[in-house]
Every structure is written in structure tokens, then in C-alpha cells.
């Protein structure tokens, strides 16, 4: 099965080398009679005048804590284990299966840098194709992420920021809050903004000893909300003390697709490139084999039946005319 081959191609990010997987996917698409080219680092295959786009990212997170070789897939009772099995090489496999006899008026985009980096390959792709025929004919898209074969139409936006809190140093007996104390208090307040999901992924204060007030405390936070990224940034600025330094690492908008073709609105909680496509005026939904509960951890797996089900779904969707 091709999924094992896809898993064996190392695309761990940061630092992913896409040359091998690009060659593999270019050859596979050419076998399916697609016109293939590399656009902004991504592999794009098209048939006819594409109205529908299928997108899956080629990179995986870095393997951490695996007891077996994560690039050597193994099958256990219909579960295919391996790095990227569900996020999202199972999806790439589903796309290849759905198009194995060719397709009509369809585009397939295998994109880079979804797992890390401030700009995803899909975003770079759309910057490149703005104003072209392809951007005009595309109306619908399926962005593939592990959703256990369910279609999702909404998810929050994503803002990642680094906050550097500053205050005076001195003896720790002072009753005034240190930079670290201010950081904790402010992060707490940020966490209580209505409708925000705030994750503090790191916090570090550097005092020379337990008896010294740290003058500086740095925290990295990611915020998920349905507000526009600019509004989120404004709200952060309004919440933190004025001498705090704010560095925005990533700022992506939400997905809220209400086009009739997508059916009942359903919400997923992680950010996807569907938001990028929807900003570009394409009715994107999120769908894919495997579960997000298996993603980004050792012994990631996808059910073989889930990949097959996804391939059948894509085949049906390719025939839809949104
Ligand atoms: Zn992922």
C-alpha cells in the first residue's frame, strides 16, 4: 500500500526536505494524467478547469518518544502506525486513491510547512495564483486533516505571540510583583477573555537566585478565537502592562463557511489551511481520515478503513459542482 511508502519519506518539520516527496507525488499524479507543477514549493496537479480543490500537507511534526522506527510503518489489526499516518499522509493516500483513474475539473494541492513556520505553503500558493484562471474557477475545497471522516465548516483563528514582561530587579522581600508575577497575573487575565482559548506553551523568568526579583519574564501564548487576528492583537495590547514587549509569531483568521453546499455547520477546534482558502474566496471544509487524538504523538496511527472511506468521499465530492 502506498501509505507505507509515504510514511517512509522523511518530511519532519522544522527543517523538512521536500525533494523526495515532491518527486514521489509528481510521478504519482503524472500517472493519473494530471498536469503537474511545483508552485511556491507545493505540488499542484490539475485536470481540466478545476472547480474543486483537495489539499493535504506533506510535512509532519518531528518524531519524539517513538519506541519503534517512526518512518517504518507497521500494520496491527487494520491500524497503520507511523509518523504522519493520520496527520496527514493518510489523507495524501486517500487523494491518490480517489484519483487513481484520473479526474475531471479537479485540482490537488500537496502543500508545505503546515506544521511550522509563520506562513504555510497553502498561503504562499494562493498569493502566487491570485488573479490567475485557477483562482477564478475554484469554488470549493476540502482541506484534509484528521477529523475521523467528518466534515467541518468552522474553526477558530489562531494567534501566537511572545510576551516579554519587564519590571525592576532587587531583593525578593519586596511586596511588589516581579516581572514573573506580573506575567502570571496578566496571562490569567488573558485567559478569561470571553470565548478565548489561551494556551501558555512556555514561560521563563531569569533571576540569578531565589532571593532576587527577576527583571524579565518571557511567555509564549497561542490564542484561539473567532475574532479577527487584528482584534485579538489589539485586545492583547490593551490587557498587558504598557512596558511589555509583544512579538506576533503567527496570526491566522478563523474559518466560518456558511455556503449551502457545505451542509450543517460543524465546528472543529484546531486551526487549518481551510481558513486561508476561505479568505481567498473558496468555500473550504475540513475533512480527513484518522483522529486528531492520534496526531503529534508516538504511535500515531490511522485505520486503513478510514483512509478507504475518505477516498470514496473524495471521489463523490470531486463530482460535485458547488
Ligand atoms: Zn499536525
Per-residue pLDDT of 39-55, as tens digits, reads 999 999 999 999 999 99
Rounded Cα distance between 216 and 213, Å, is 9
Residue 226: partners with Cβ closer than 8 Å, 6 or more residues away = 156, 157, 195, 254, 256
Question: In angstroms, what CA-CA distances link 89 with 9, 61, 71, 233, 257?
Answer: 10, 12, 12, 34, 25
Q: Kindly indicate the confidence band of residue 206, based on its pLDDT and cuts at 50, 70 and 90.
A: confident
Q: Closest Cα to residue 95, out of 49, 139, 52?
A: 52
Q: Give mean pLDDT, residues 160-166.
A: 96
Q: How far is the CA of 12 from the centre of ligand 1 (A)?
A: 11
Which residues place a Cβ less than 5 A from the ion ligand 1? 87
pTM of the predicted structure, to 2 decimals: 0.84
> Residue 220: its pLDDT value, please?
97
Query: Has residue 151 got a pLDDT over 90?
Result: yes
> Residue 120: its pLDDT value, please?
82
Lowest mean pLDDT among 55-59, 97-101, 203-207, 261-265: 261-265
Q: How far is the CA of 115 from the centre of ligand 1 (A)?
A: 5
pLDDT tens-digit readout, 5-14: 999 999 999 9
Q: What residue ranges do the domains of the chain occupy? A: 3-155+254-317, 157-252
Q: How far is the CA of 59 from the centre of ligand 1 (A)?
A: 8
Tell me yes or no: is domain 3-155+254-317 CATH 3.40.630.10: yes
Q: How far is the CA of 270 from the centre of ligand 1 (A)?
A: 9
Q: How far is the CA of 171 from the centre of ligand 1 (A)?
A: 44
Question: Which fold would CATH assign to domain 157-252?
Answer: Alpha-Beta Plaits (3.30.70)
Q: Kindly indicate the confidence band of residue 77, based on its pLDDT and cuts at 50, 70 and 90.
A: very high
Query: Has residue 322 got a pLDDT over 60?
Result: no
Q: How far is the CA of 291 from the centre of ligand 1 (A)?
A: 11
Query: Has residue 282 got a pLDDT over 90?
Result: no
Amino acid at each position: 500500500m502506498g501509505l507505507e511508502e509515504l510514511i517512509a519519506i522523511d518530511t519532519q518539520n522544522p527543517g523538512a526536505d521536500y525533494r523526495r516527496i515532491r518527486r514521489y507525488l509528481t510521478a504519482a499524479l503524472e500517472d493519473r494524467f494530471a498536469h503537474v507543477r511545483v508552485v511556491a514549493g507545493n505540488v499542484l496537479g490539475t485536470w481540466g478547469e478545476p472547480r474543486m480543490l483537495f489539499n493535504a500537507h506533506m510535512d509532519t511534526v518531528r518524531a519524539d518518544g517513538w519506541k519503534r522506527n517512526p518512518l517504518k510503518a507497521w500494520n496491527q489489526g487494520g491500524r497503520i502506525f507511523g509518523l504522519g499516518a493520520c496527520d496527514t499522509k493518510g489523507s495524501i493516500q486517500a487523494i491518490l486513491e480517489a484519483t487513481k483513474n484520473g479526474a475531471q475539473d479537479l485540482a490537488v494541492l500537496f502543500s508545505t510547512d503546515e506544521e511550522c513556520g509563520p506562513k504555510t505553503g497553502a498561503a504562499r500558493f494562493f498569493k502566487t495564483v491570485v488573479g490567475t484562471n485557477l483562482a477564478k474557477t475554484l469554488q470549493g475545497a476540502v482541506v484534509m486533516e484528521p477529523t475521523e471522516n467528518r466534515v467541518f465548516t468552522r474553526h477558530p483563528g489562531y494567534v501566537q505571540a511572545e510576551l516579554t514582561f519587564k519590571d525592576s530587579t532587587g531583593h525578593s522581600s519586596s511586596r511588589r510583583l516581579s516581572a514573573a508575577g506580573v506575567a502570571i497575573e496578566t496571562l490569567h487575565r488573558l485567559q478569561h477573555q470571553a470565548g478565548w482559548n489561551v494556551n501558555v506553551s512556555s514561560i521563563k523568568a531569569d533571576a540569578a537566585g531565589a532571593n532576587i526579583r527577576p527583571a524579565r519574564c518571557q511567555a509564549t501564548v497561542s490564542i484561539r478565537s473567532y475574532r479577527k487576528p487584528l482584534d485579538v492583537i489589539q485586545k492583547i495590547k490593551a490587557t498587558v502592562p504598557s512596558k511589555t514587549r509583544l512579538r506576533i509569531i503567527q496570526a491566522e483568521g478563523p474559518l466560518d463557511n456558511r455556503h449551502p453546499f457545505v451542509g450543517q455547520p460543524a465546528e472543529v477546534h484546531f486551526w487549518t489551511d481551510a481558513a486561508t482558502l476561505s479568505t481567498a474566496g473558496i468555500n473550504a471544509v475540513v475533512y480527513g481520515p484518522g483522529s486528531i487524538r492520534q496526531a503529534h504523538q508516538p504511535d500515531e496511527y490511522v485505520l486503513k478503513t478510514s483512509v478507504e472511506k475518505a477516498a470514496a468521499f473524495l471521489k463523490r465530492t470531486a463530482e460535485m459542482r458547488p
